[in-house]
A and B are shown apart, each in its own frame.
Chain A
Amino acid sequence: MAVAKGSAPQSGEPSKRGDRRRQLVLTLSRVWAWAFLGLLIAFFVITVPLSSNGSVNFLTVRNSQNILMAIVSVLLLGLGQTFVIITAGIDLSVGHMMSLASVVSALVLREVFNAGVPLFPAVAIGLLAALATAALVGFLQGSIIARLKVPAFIVTLGGGFVLRGVALLMSDNSTVIGLPPGVRDYGNESLMYFIPGDSGGLYFFNRPEVSGELVRSMDRILPYPVIIAAIVVILMAFLLRRTAFGRHTYAIGGNQEAALRAGIPVDRHLIQLYMLSASTAAVAGFLSTLRFTAGSAVIGDPLLMSSIAAVIIGGVSLAGGAGSIIGTVIGALIVAVLTTGLVMLNVQAFWQFIVIGIVIIVAVLIDQSRDLIVSRMRSGA
């Protein structure tokens, strides 16, 4: 989006002051999301103990793990979306894709397990079924967008409705239950357990068999869903930053015509992007099946807007061409820190919407002033 087409470079030497101000805006645009997250954490670290006379603290091991657990779904929905929005597209179907994946993985997992397959392979087959469904959904939506040139907004809006209907049909309008009991462990157990004190210690993989006060003081460190989400984050960051696939994504977002002329197979690439977006949503759905030990046709619906908010706060430009995976992680963290912090302050959690709304607008404003300055610098001095 060319912002400053008409603005001619200023005549004469730009003043030192203006230079410095521009530099400030540029620096701010790079670090402001980090800074905001830091400020937010600092704010809650100070206010939460004050508001509760010291009986509640924000910076605890348990709370940090909660925040990590709370970002898993929103983050996974946002990861694929980051790629899509970098190409100036949008995928409004990710929430319903998550629901469908939750139902599919629960049904497949249950049937495969009941047919005599051991638990771990059954869980893995459930994940594969969810991913296969996502690949099909992404292929269909991507094909309509890329080959038939229907706007992504329309295709994924309509596609989302279809997915919701299919999910409700498959789940017979209810929650898919009857999963093997061990499934709950995959979704709720952690890599490490820590019990402070003499009788405590650090335990790996298996939850220590303790009871009473010891359980109460036990911290779970790195729950399995967080580890899986972290692996997906690293894969996606690598894909976007270090591969031809990532470079093509930026190229298409920067200028689709130019990308086409440079020999990038734009249509095929777009189809792959929508498959990718559906797939990260499918991982979110699969993990929710493990966590809640059931498949649900309505589970992803409320998360769509938060996930898009995370992507935009993280600095992905809706106009395409700019954005990063780390940015989306920060965006998701901001959303989760806000929710958790407000609950700990005993402020109604819906205040987060007001804050997030303002933050989104500020994020885009900062983004635009950066574009303005960059284009002035290029055309001017």
Chain B
Amino acid sequence: MFKKSLLILVSIVMILSLAPATLSAQGDPIVIGFLPGVVDPFYQVMELGVNAAAEDMGVQIITQIPQTWGVEVQTPILDAMIARGDLDYLIIAPTDKDQMIGPLEAALDAGIQVITVDTFLGDGDYVNGPVTFPISYIGSDNVEGGRIAARGLAAAIGGTGKVYINSTNPNVSSVEGRAVGFNEVMANEYPDIEVVGLDFNLDDPARATEQTAAVIAREPDLAGVFGTNVFSAQGAGQAVIQAGLGGQVQVVAYDATQLAIENLRAGVVSLVLAQKPFDMGYMAVQFAVAHAAGVTSLPKRVQTGFAIIDINNVDDPAIARFIYQVP
């Protein structure tokens, strides 16, 4: 039985391995893969941008959104997308700035040009940094976003007190940059503000709630929380509401989800930083099309900027259009 099954298994592997490779016909329309980090409103809006650009420019998009964040989840999907054999470009938000270098070099080897959105590889400097193969990195200036968040939170708490950062995952360029900028401003500009901790919720809003609740319990005089993305801000806001401290513990939320805006109106969140995921998605497709047409002067770094939303401008249509609208 054992020998027989081993034999069958070996033959399956052989068949899989040695089946004649059918050369994939290179069709005319450009085929672009889109592989963001995880299912959340931020990337869903980015997908809207990708699809809008695809329609405008007549290219085909293959979208896969991982259900959880992580290189072990993103890589098999990436490998399968490469194995399709028909992709010309890949728009990806790498889930780790170091670990995803190898798998994405494999994409390059397979003839697929890479554009990173939201997060970057290496240090994000695709001109002089350790990683230079991607066409471009299109995303917010996250360090600057962290600075804006810090100044916003400092103003909301009157420039003094204890603050706490809830983040998602270590070694992810986007949220890491936000924490760096936040800490830098607090250290240099606000000597009376103490940053009492940084936790990683691993992209789980329930865990973010637990962690923030625990910090509120530990630091009864906590004045503010910085949630570095969709899940962090959601959890931080929830914990403050549960503790009945809305308005007393100020929250600054990265990412303008509907929930963050509700919390802003309810007085729990004092400042929302809207990124421009639609722009990231749309421009990434444009860049791919331009690259295919032979454009060689595409910038290696595009900063998409922010809309800063507070209770005074949330109803201004010029600002409200940056709230993430997911169908």
What sequence of 0s and 1s flags, for each residue 154-192 of chain B, a beta carbon within 8 Å of any chain A beta carbon? 000000000000000111000000000000000000000
Which of chain B's residues have a CB closer than 8 A to the CB of A54? Answer: 25
Which of chain A's residues have a CB closer than 8 A to the CB of B103? Answer: 291-292
**Is the beta-carbon distance between A343 and B80 smaller than 8 angstroms?**
yes
Which chain A residues (338-367) contact chain B, with CB distance < 8 Å? 339-340, 343-344, 346, 348-350, 353
Which of chain A's residues have a CB closer than 8 A to the CB of B171? Answer: 174-175, 177, 294, 296
Which of chain B's residues have a CB closer than 8 A to the CB of A59? Answer: 16, 19, 22
Which of chain B's residues have a CB closer than 8 A to the CB of A65? Answer: 17
Of A7-15, A68-76, A129-137, A275-283, the stretch lying at the interface with chain B is: A68-76
When the two chains form the complex, which single residue of A188, A303, A333, A344 contacts B83, counting CB atoms closer than 8 Å? A344
**Is the beta-carbon distance between A66 and B170 smaller than 8 angstroms?**
no
**Is the beta-carbon distance between B96 and A175 smaller than 8 angstroms?**
yes
Q: How far is the CB of A216 from chain B (nearest CB, A)?
A: 4
Does A218 belong to the interface (CB within 8 Å)? yes
**Is the beta-carbon distance between B71 and A56 smaller than 8 angstroms?**
no
A56 to B24 Cα, complex, angstroms: 6
Does B304 belong to the interface (CB within 8 Å)? no
Which chain A residues (289-314) contact chain B, with CB distance < 8 Å? 291-294, 296-303
Q: How far is the CB of B133 from chain A (nearest CB, A)?
A: 13
Which of chain B's residues have a CB closer than 8 A to the CB of A124? Answer: none
Does A215 belong to the interface (CB within 8 Å)? yes
Asked, given contacts A241-B2, A344-B80, A346-B62, whether A291 binds B86 with beta carbons under 8 Å apart, the answer is no
Does B218 belong to the interface (CB within 8 Å)? no
Chain B: interface residue total (CB-CB under 8 A): 56
**Is the beta-carbon distance between B85 and A60 smaller than 8 angstroms?**
yes
Which of chain B's residues have a CB closer than 8 A to the CB of A53? Answer: 27
Q: How far is the CB of B175 from chain A (nearest CB, A)?
A: 12
**Is the beta-carbon distance between A60 and B19 smaller than 8 angstroms?**
yes
Which of chain B's residues have a CB closer than 8 A to the CB of A348? Answer: 64-65
Of B106-114, B256-264, B267-275, B292-300, the stretch lying at the interface with chain A is: B106-114
**Is the beta-carbon distance between A184 and B102 smaller than 8 angstroms?**
yes
**A contact residues vs B (CB 8 Å cutoff):** 34, 37, 52-57, 59-70, 73, 168, 171, 173-175, 177, 184, 187-188, 196, 213, 215-219, 221-222, 237, 241-242, 288, 291-294, 296-303, 324, 326, 329-330, 333, 336, 339-340, 343-344, 346, 348-350, 353
Select from chain B the residue with minimum beta-carbon distance to A67: B16
Q: What are the 4 A-B residue pairs with the smallest beta carbon separation, nearest first?
A: A64-B16, A292-B99, A175-B171, A343-B80
**Is the beta-carbon distance between B68 and A302 smaller than 8 angstroms?**
yes
A34 to B9 Cα, complex, angstroms: 9
A344 to B64 Cα, complex, angstroms: 10
Which of chain A's residues have a CB closer than 8 A to the CB of B106? Answer: 188
**Is the beta-carbon distance between B21 and A61 smaller than 8 angstroms?**
yes
**Is the beta-carbon distance between B5 and A57 smaller than 8 angstroms?**
no
A60 to B79 Cα, complex, angstroms: 13
Other A-B pairs beyond A53-B27, A221-B17, A300-B72, 6, CB < 8 Å:
A34-B8, A57-B22, A60-B83, A70-B79, A339-B77, A343-B84
Q: How far is the CB of A208 from chain B (nearest CB, A)?
A: 12
**Is the beta-carbon distance between A73 and B84 smaller than 8 angstroms?**
no
A-B contact pairs, 18 of them (CB 8 A): A60-B83, A61-B21, A68-B16, A174-B170, A288-B72, A291-B102, A292-B96, A298-B70, A298-B169, A298-B170, A301-B70, A324-B2, A329-B9, A339-B76, A339-B80, A340-B80, A343-B64, A348-B64
Select from chain B the residue with minimum beta-carbon distance to A288: B72
A69 to B79 Cα, complex, angstroms: 9
Secondary structure type dominating chain A contacts: helix
**Is the beta-carbon distance between B102 and A188 smaller than 8 angstroms?**
yes
**Is the beta-carbon distance between A349 and B77 smaller than 8 angstroms?**
yes
Q: How far is the CB of B277 from chain A (nearest CB, A)?
A: 19
Which chain B residues (4-49) contact chain A, with CB distance < 8 Å? 5-6, 8-9, 12-13, 16-19, 21-25, 27
When the two chains form the complex, which single residue of B17, B77, B98 contacts A175, counting CB atoms closer than 8 Å? B98
Select from chain A the residue with minimum beta-carbon distance to B4: A326
Does B202 belong to the interface (CB within 8 Å)? yes
Asked, given contacts A173-B200, A174-B171, A216-B111, whether A293 binds B16 with beta carbons under 8 Å apart, the answer is no
**Is the beta-carbon distance between A187 and B77 smaller than 8 angstroms?**
no
Q: How far is the CB of B319 from chain A (nearest CB, A)?
A: 33
**Is the beta-carbon distance between B6 and A301 smaller than 8 angstroms?**
no
**Is the beta-carbon distance between A55 and B70 smaller than 8 angstroms?**
no
**Is the beta-carbon distance between B111 and A215 smaller than 8 angstroms?**
yes
Select from chain B the residue with minimum beta-carbon distance to A350: B67
A64 to B19 Cα, complex, angstroms: 9
Q: How far is the CB of A330 from chain B (nearest CB, A)?
A: 8
Which of chain B's residues have a CB closer than 8 A to the CB of A329? Answer: 9
A39 to B4 Cα, complex, angstroms: 20
Does B266 belong to the interface (CB within 8 Å)? no
A372 to B211 Cα, complex, angstroms: 48
When the two chains form the complex, which single residue of A187, A216, A218, A349 contacts B67, counting CB atoms closer than 8 Å? A349
